[in-house]
C-alpha cells in the first residue's frame, strides 16, 4: 500500500495503481484515470460553493472507486475528507487542508 509520507513538502511523484501491471484492468484504469480531471473539477466547485453535502458525496465516491481501482492512498485521503465533512460536520474553512490534500493526490493519479 502506498502512503504519502512527505516531510516539509508536497509529494509530486505519480501514483500508480496496484493493478497497473494487470492487463485485464488496463481499460478500467484508463477510464478511472481519464475521469480524474472531472472529479477534481467537481471537488473544487463543491469547495468553492461551500456545498458540504456534495463534498461528502464526492469524497465517498472517490474513497470506494480509488480503493477498487488499486489506489489506496487516494482512498485514505478521501476517507479523511468524508469523515471531516460528514461525521464531524466541520465547516469548509476548517477542512481546506483535507480538500487540498485530496485534490493534490488526485492530480498525481497516473497509469
**Can you list the domains of the chain with their CATH numbers?**
16-110 (1.20.120.160)
Residue 3 pLDDT > 50, yes or no?
A: no
pTM for this prediction: 0.86
Cell of 62: 472517490
Specify burial of residue 9 (Cβ count, 10 A radius: 0-12, 13-18, 19+).
exposed
Tell me how far apart the terminal alpha carbons of the chain are, to the nearest angstrom: 16
Confidence of residue 2 (pLDDT cuts 50, 70, 90): very low
pLDDT-based confidence at 93, cuts 50/70/90?
confident
Residue 43's pLDDT band, with cuts at 50, 70 and 90, is very high
Amino acid at each position: 500500500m502506498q502512503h504519502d509520507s512527505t516531510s516539509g513538502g508536497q509529494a509530486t511523484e505519480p501514483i500508480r495503481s496496484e493493478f497497473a501491471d494487470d492487463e485485464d484492468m488496463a481499460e478500467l484504469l484508463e477510464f478511472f484515470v481519464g475521469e480524474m480531471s472531472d472529479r477534481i473539477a467537481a471537488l473544487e466547485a463543491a469547495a468553492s460553493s461551500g456545498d458540504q453535502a456534495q463534498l461528502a458525496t464526492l469524497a465517498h465516491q472517490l474513497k470506494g472507486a480509488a480503493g477498487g481501482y488499486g489506489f489506496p492512498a487516494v482512498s485514505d485521503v478521501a476517507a479523511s475528507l468524508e469523515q471531516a465533512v460528514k461525521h464531524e460536520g466541520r465547516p469548509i474553512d476548517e477542512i481546506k487542508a483535507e480538500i487540498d490534500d485530496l485534490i493534490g493526490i488526485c492530480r498525481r493519479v497516473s497509469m
